[in-house]
Amino acid sequence: MTSAQDRAPQAPQPGVPWAGRPRRADLICWFGIAASGLYALAIIPVRPLLIGRHPVLLELLTGSMTSIVTAGAFARVGQVPLFLAVVSAVPGMIMFDPFFWWAGRRWGRGLLLIFAGRSRRGGRLVARAEKYGRRLGWLGVVFAYYLPIPAALLFVVAGWTGMRLVTFVLLDVVAALLWIGLLTGLGYYLGQDAVDVARAISHYGLWISIALVAGVIVTQSVRGRRAPAAADAD
pTM of the model: 0.77
List the beta bridge partners of residue 12.
19
Q: What rounded mean pLDDT belongs to the chain?
A: 80
Say how far apart CA 218 and CA 176 lie, in whole Å: 32
Name which residue leads in pLDDT, 164 or 211: 164
The whole-number average pLDDT for the span 58-73 is 91
Structure confidence at residue 61 (pLDDT): 94
- What does the buried/exposed string (b/e) look like for 190-199 if buried means 16 or more CB atoms within 10 Å of the residue's CB? beeebbebbe
Q: Which of 76-85, 103-112, 192-201 has the lowest mean pLDDT?
A: 192-201
Give 87-128 as a DSSP string: HTHHHHHHTTHHHHHHHHHHHTHHHHHHHHTT-HHHHHHHHH
Q: How confident is the model at residue 118 (pLDDT cuts 50, 70, 90)?
A: low
* Percent of the chain's residues with pLDDT above 70: 75
Q: SS3 for 81?
A: coil
Q: SS3 for 10?
A: coil
> Which of 38-42, 89-93, 109-113, 133-137 tops mean pLDDT?
89-93
Structure confidence at residue 7 (pLDDT): 40
The whole-number average pLDDT for the span 145-157 is 86
Query: Which residue in 187, 173, 190, 176 sits closest to 146, CA to CA?
Result: 176
Structure confidence at residue 53 (pLDDT): 85
Structure confidence at residue 216 (pLDDT): 55
pLDDT at 59 > cutoff 50? yes
The sign of the torsion formed by the CA atoms of 62, 67, 69, 74 equals negative
Structure confidence at residue 1 (pLDDT): 42
Q: What is the pLDDT of residues 196-211, one digit of tens each?
A: 777 766 655 555 555 6
Say how far apart CA 112 and CA 231 lie, in whole Å: 21
List the beta bridge partners of residue 19.
12
